[in-house]
Amino acid sequence: MAPNPQRRRSGAILTVDLDAIRVNYRLLRARAAPAACSAVLKSDAYGLGALAVAAALYQEGCRHFFVAHLDEGIALRPGVPADAAIFVLHGPPPDTEADFTAHQLTPVLNSAQQVAGWRAHAKAQGRALGAVLQVCSGMSRMGLEPAEVDAWLADPHYLDGIEMLYLMSHLACAEQSEHPMNAMQLERFKAIRARLPQCRASFANSSAIFLPKDYHFDLVRPGAALYGIAPVAGAANPMQPVVRLQGKILQTRTIAAGEHVGYSRRYTASEARHVATVSVGYADGWLRSMSTLGLAVVDGVRVPQIGAISMDSITLDVSGIAPERLAPGSLVDLICAEHTVDAVAKLANTIGYEVLTNLGARYYREYTGGGA
């Protein structure tokens, strides 16, 4: 079979293993049981393709999906059947409530203003409308503040027309299992939920699934762990790798001792070196902070990235790699099982979330697995 022409034309190939995502989901669901397990698909499933990921996870039994923005929910809705709930974490922007009902989306209500808007929309619709209410348990980012919670619980009409599906909050330090903030937030969340004994609750992100069971409540919300990012800082990663990023070699050259590579002469050869230029750069999300620090893998051999990362290319020291392996168009691994997303993030002085969500639109994308 002839190679795919788009694949042949591309500068790099991003492969997403949908079977690995399904395996990761099963592991998280088993740890969280009897709580239900959702999937967070915000930022296009952390850059990996929300429609493809949602289809695979729906086949795995997932029926609760979270996105960040209204437009993300609208884009996702055609990709999952009507029995799957799509929750929008940022809630309704002003005067967009009708878009939620039109596209069968459920808002997470984060403020008194959002509650009032949804209440008015329910009245206009003449029917009860479902929503999740988020309360702030200490992260100081989103959700009703304690005084707003008190006002809500003192007002019997506060949720008129709103069917409260879950009470929700979010942990700030769950990846650090011994961090005292975890217990503090849990106690605050429990205290609010105790005033709503019949309400289902959602508290745990990926990392909190690996905390004790009392963090799990009724619905857990994994995101990063689904995509292979380590959920617990400093511990072995139990998740399957999901992503493989392969860049294509453009050309190679031999440089003598004293010659320089890249912008600002960030690298100077101390002896003769063989250099390969690969067509991936910071415009593709390959973070410039890795200049002179990154690496690639060629047939299991780690080769250093040298010089500054450019907009459209990087340079590798491939001295010692057989020349026939370095022909134009040959692939080198930038993310793989031997050099994971978390390893790349450490070199870039960031987190795996940023590495994944920065992966650019220029890659040719392939999906493997994912079938029922």
Cα R_g (the chain), whole angstroms: 24
Task: Name the average pLDDT for the chain.
Answer: 96
Residues 25/220, Cβ–Cβ less than 8 Å: no
263 is catalytic: yes
Give pLDDT tens digits for 175-208: 999 999 999 999 999 999 999 988 999 999 999 9
Give pLDDT tens digits for 331-344: 999 999 999 999 99
CA distances from 169 to 43, 58, 140, 146, 270 (A): 20, 25, 11, 12, 55
Determine the straight-line distance between the first and last CA of the chain, rounded to whole angstroms: 26
Average pLDDT of 59-70?
A: 98
Residues 232/175, Cβ–Cβ less than 8 Å: yes
For residue 298, list its beta bridge partners: 301
Task: Identify which of 3, 21, 31, 17 has the alpha carbon closest to the alpha carbon of residue 209.
Answer: 31
Structure tokens at 206: 């990926």
42 is catalytic: yes
The residue annotated as part of the active site, out of 42, 46, 215, 363, is 42
List alpha helices for 10-69, DSSP H. Answer: 18-32, 42-46, 50-59
CA 192 – CA 230 distance, rounded (Å): 30
Average pLDDT of 233-254?
A: 97
CA 105 – CA 362 distance, rounded (Å): 30
DSSP class of 142: S
pLDDT class for 90, splitting at 50, 70, 90?
very high
370, pLDDT greater than 60: yes
CA 53 – CA 32 distance, rounded (Å): 20
Q: In this predicted structure, what is the pLDDT of residue 360? A: 87
The residue annotated as part of the active site, out of 46, 158, 248, 263, is 263
The alpha carbon of 182 is separated from its chain's Cα centroid by a whole number of angstroms, namely 21
pTM listed for this prediction: 0.95
Structure tokens at 153: 């619980």
Average pLDDT of 260-277?
A: 96
